[in-house]
Homo-oligomer: A and B are copies of this chain.
Amino acid sequence: PANTLRGHLELLLPAVCFVWQIAMIILFGIFIRYNEESDAHWIEHKTSKNISSNIENDYYFRYPSFQDVHVMIFVGFGFLMTFLKRYSFGAVGFNFLIAGFGLQWALLMQGWFHSLDPMDGKIKIGVESMINADFCVASCLIAYGAVLGKVSPVQLMVMTLFGVTLYAVEEYIILSLIHARDAGGSMVIHTFGAYYGLSISWMLYRPNLDQSKHRIGSVYHSDVFAMIGTLFLWMFWPSFNSAISDHGDGQHRAAINTYLSLAATVLTALAISSLSQKTGKLDMVHIQNATLAGGVAVGTAAEFMLMPYGSLIVGFCCGIISTLGYIYITPFMEKYLKIHDTCGIHNLHAMPGVIGGIVGAITAAAASEDVYGKEGLMNTFDFTGEWKEMVPTRQGGHQAAGLCVALCFGIGGGIIVGCILRLPIWGDAPDNSCFDDEIYWEHENCFGSHKMCYVKYHQDGSRPLLHTVYVPPLVQTIHVWAHTIL
């Protein structure tokens, strides 16, 4: 029945992929060109600008961080979501699809707002544009975490199209109009992305989801796969928060702050996880997710003079809050607010993101020439040009305003996009087939390690399929029993 229900999808996904990719090619042809540092004219430009060495090309300042961010987007987010026993293909595969499409659209949307060259009307891209595109995609992947297993790939594509668009607008408002600083994106990426995803999940609430509840859970090795995602996110988060900070001390400091904050989070997340069980045992869900909250929460303030102990305090608090969120808030949200949050992004991204925005506002408001130095203050907060008269206390207010904008865009955008996704044309899975790779992936019906499967091979031997007709009676009986009790 699952297959027949989504019959029209046979052509919908390919059609969407083709149309959107062709649109990207046309728009890239019209709008996108290399910037000065990636264009072959660089060699002349270098001479005219008296740049002494190729090593001062922005590429060498940012490319290592870019690659780390890239790993976080594709392996980090992708594998973090493989924890479900039967949805690993969907987790890592649809993550791949969303990110592959999203980064192209992000280059365009962010380009129109941030790097349109007034001389020729073209968007000029370089390594920083690629990092920003990956950042933008991150917000959509966060949103995917809330609806993991419950939506179709076409819905994800629509969600990403609107998500990237909204992101570019709110980023422009927060960073350019309001002049808030947000190096690691606590506000523009995490707060926005998480509330966008939660609002969509709320709009798509399925009252009968308990028909698929037995698939929400992990098997032993799917939890180990998820740890790959966790660790690559955790390890490379210092690169994430420092990737687009100022050259020199800005990037350096952002990396240190993130490194420390994340270390503190590990200890408090484990402590609360152990406290939450009568037996004192640990829960892999908390280790996989809550240990990352410190990286989210230190995002905005990472490039500020947060001080090493300040970073530890942020991480300390977030490890506690995030783990408590998994224990108390996620069940509460599902039961009373009708928001089902598959990966618990409210605990990993929403709450820490808001905390990060607040920490950023306080740290900015408390900045002084004493701590930063006269030039350092101007440099860190970019008090130049039209913002020359800005002072730290007012900057704190602007940071808070930025947080509100991110919240509004996340919730508002999510509700609108959620309405669109409720249209019955996207071929999402029926309530009894959620969290199941089977309806979107062609493969053998043999998951995890807890089932007895009897596999037969195609004529051509290429891929195995489950054929119970080939199972001898006794084994078949056991098989049926096993299914019954599962």
CB-based contact B67/A305 at 8 Å: no
| Residue A350 at the chain B interface, CB threshold 8 Å | no
Cα-based distance from A17 to B447 in the complex (angstroms) = 37
Are A55 and B55 interface neighbours, CB within 8 A?
Answer: yes
**Contact between chains at A256 and B449 (CB < 8 Å):** no
Of chain B, the residue at the smallest CB distance from A446 is B450
Chain A 19-40 per-residue mask, 1 if CB under 8 angstroms from chain B, else 0? 0111011101100111001111
B312 lies within 8 A of A24 (CB): yes
In the complex, are the beta carbons of B43 and A379 less than 8 A apart?
yes
Task: Flag the segment in A188-196, A216-224, A358-366 that touches B.
Answer: A216-224
Q: Identify A44's interface contact among B85, B268, B375, CB under 8 A.
A: B375
How many copies of this protein are present in the complex?
A: 3
The answer to the question of A227 belonging to the interface, with a C-beta cut-off of 8 Å to chain B, is yes
User: Residue A165 at the B interface, CB < 8 A?
Assistant: no
Q: How far is the CA of A481 from the CA of B283 in the complex (A)?
A: 30
Contacts A63-B64, A126-B256, A268-B17 given; does A287 touch B96 at CB 8 Å: yes
Question: B residues within 8 A CB of A440?
Answer: 281-282
Question: In the assembled complex, which residues on chain B have CB atoms less than 8 Å from the CB atom of A214?
Answer: 457, 461, 464
Chain B hits for A373, CB < 8 A: 40-41, 43-44
Residues of B within 8 A of A231 (CB): 74-75, 78, 92, 96
Tell me which of B32, B38, B449 contacts A249 (CB under 8 A).
B38
The residue on B at minimum CB distance from A18 is B271
Question: Contact check: which of B235, B266, B472, B485 meets A70 at CB < 8 Å?
Answer: B235
| A14 and B376 in contact, given A442-B282, A472-B485 (Cβ under 8 angstroms) | no
Task: Tell me if A308 is interfacial: C-beta within 8 Å of chain B.
Answer: yes
Known: A14-B274, A52-B52. A101 touches B454 (CB 8 A): no
Q: Does A10 contact B (CB under 8 A)?
A: yes
B32 and A93 contacting across the interface, CB-CB below 8 Å? no
CB-CB nearest in chain B for A234: B74
Interface contacts beyond A40-B305, A57-B249, A470-B485: sample of 18 additional A-B pairs, CB < 8 Å, sorted by A: A9-B280, A14-B275, A18-B268, A21-B267, A21-B316, A33-B308, A38-B256, A40-B373, A40-B377, A58-B252, A59-B248, A67-B236, A75-B235, A82-B224, A89-B224, A281-B442, A471-B485, A472-B485
Asked if A210 is at the interface of the complex by the 8 Å CB criterion, the answer is yes
CB-CB < 8 A to A218: which residues of B?
A: 443-444, 463
Our pick among B78, B280, B449, B470 for the contact of A10 (Cβ within 8 Å) is B280
Closest to A253 in B: B38
A79 to B274, CA, bound (A): 23
- Quick one: which of B64, B225, B482 contacts A224, CB cutoff 8 A? B225
A399, CB-defined interface residue at 8 Å: no
> A277 an interface residue at 8 Å Cβ cutoff?
yes
Alpha-carbon separation in the docked complex, A481 to B481 (Å): 18
Q: B13 to A217, Cβ gap below 8 A? A: no
Query: In angstroms, how far is the closest chain B Cβ from the Cβ of A309?
Result: 4
Within 8 Å CB of A52, what residues of B? 52-53
Residues of B within 8 A of A275 (CB): 10-11, 14
Q: Which chain A residues numbered 417 to 465 have a C-beta less than 8 Å away from chain B?
A: 439-444, 446-457, 460-464
CB distance from A409 to the nearest CB of B (A): 25
Contact B67 A235 (CB under 8 A): yes
25 residue pairs of the A-B complex, CB under 8 angstroms, read A10-B279, A10-B280, A17-B274, A18-B268, A21-B264, A21-B316, A34-B249, A34-B305, A39-B376, A40-B371, A55-B247, A67-B235, A82-B224, A89-B282, A92-B224, A100-B264, A125-B308, A130-B259, A217-B461, A217-B462, A220-B448, A221-B222, A284-B442, A444-B450, A456-B486
- Contact present for B56 and A53 (CB under 8 Å): yes
